[in-house]
Structure 1
Amino acid sequence: MKVVVTAVVAAGALAGCGGQTRAGTAALVGGDRITVASLDRTVRDWRGQFKDDPVANQIRANSSGLAPGLGDEESETDMQGALSLLVNFRVADKVARQAGVAVPDGLADRTAAMMNQRGGAGSITLATGLPRSHSRDLARFIATQTAVMQKFGADLSNAQSPLTMQAAQQWGELFQRTAAGMHIKINPRFGQYDAAKVDIGPVVYRLSSAETGTGEA
Structure 2
Amino acid sequence: MPGKSVKVVVAAVVAAGALAGCGGQTRVGTAALVGGDRITVSSLDQTVRDWRGQFKDDPVANQIRANSSGLAPGLGDQESETDMQGALSLLVNFRVADRVARRAGVSVPEGLADRTTALMDQRGGAGSITLASGLPRSRARDLARFIATQTAVMQKFGADLNNAQSPLTVQAAQQWGELFQRTADGMHIKINPRFGRYDAAKVDIGPVVYDLSSAETGTSER
- Which TM-score applies when normalising by structure 2? 0.81
Aligned to 1:94: 99
Which residue of 30, 55, 58 corresponds with 2:63?
A: 58
Instruction: Give the aligned residue type for 1:91.
Output: V
C-alpha distance in structure 2 between counterparts of 1:81 and 1:186, whole Å: 13
Instruction: Describe the SS at the equivalent of 1:160.
Output: coil
1:36 equivalenced with 2:41 (yes/no): yes
Q: Which residue of 2 aligns with 1:172?
A: 177
Structure 1, unmatched stretches of 5+, are: 1-18, 208-217
Report how far residue 201 of structure 1 moved: 1.0
Specify the alignment match of 2:111 in structure 1: 106
Deviation at 1:20, TM superposition (A): 4.2
Alignment pair present for 1:192 and 2:197: yes
Output the CA distance in 1 between the equivalents of 2:99 and 2:70: 26
Residue identity matched to 1:32: D
Q: Give the AA of the match of 1:85.
A: L
Question: Structure 2 vs 1, CA of residues 26 and 143 (structure 1 numbering), >3 Å: closer, same or farther?
Answer: same
Q: Share of identical aligned residues, percent?
A: 90
Distance in 2, matches of 1:195 and 1:123, equals: 26
Q: Which residue in the other structure is 1:154 paired with? A: 159
SS of alignment partner, residue 138 of structure 1: helix
Q: What is the TM-score normalised by the length of structure 1?
A: 0.83
Q: Which residue of 2 aligns with 1:202?
A: 207
**Aligned CA-pair RMSD:** 1.7
Q: Against the structure 1 CA distance between its residues 66 and 179, is the aligned structure 2 distance closer, same or farther, given a 3 Å change threshold?
A: farther
- Please list, as runs of the form range in 1=range in 2, the aligned pairs for 1:132-143 lying within 5 A after superposition: 132-143=137-148
- CA offsets per residue over residues 80-119 of structure 1, 9 Å max, x none? 0000000000110010000000101111011101111110
**Residues 102 and 65 (structure 1), Cα distance of their counterparts in 2 relative to 1, 3 Å cut:** farther
What is the aligned residue count? Answer: 189
Deviation larger for 56-65 or 74-83: 56-65
Whose relative contact order is higher, 1 or 2, with alpha carbons under 8 Å and at least 6 apart? 1
Q: Aligned partner of 2:141: which letter? A: R
Q: Which residue matches 2:5?
A: none
CA-CA distance at 1:68 after TM superposition: 4.3
Determine the structure 2 residue equivalent to 1:83: 88
Q: 2:139 matched to 1:130?
A: no
Cα drift, residue 65 of structure 1 = 7.4
**Cα distance change on mapping 1:139 and 1:121 into 2, 3 Å:** same
Query: Which stretches in structure 2 are left out of the alignment for 5+ residues?
Result: 1-23, 213-222
Instruction: Label 1:206 to 1:98 Cα distance change in 2 as closer, same or farther (>3 A).
Output: closer
Distance in 2 of aligned mates of 1:128 and 1:67: 15
CA deviation string 1:55-84 (max 9, x = no partner)? 000110111477843111110100000000
Superposed CA deviations along residues 150-201 of structure 1, whole A, max 9, x for unmatched, are 0000001011111101100100000000010011110111111235533211
Local SS of the residue matching 1:27:
strand
- Contact 2:65–2:73 under 8 Å retained in 1: yes
* Partner SS, residue 21 of structure 1: coil
Q: 2:29 aligns with which of 20, 24, 27?
A: 24
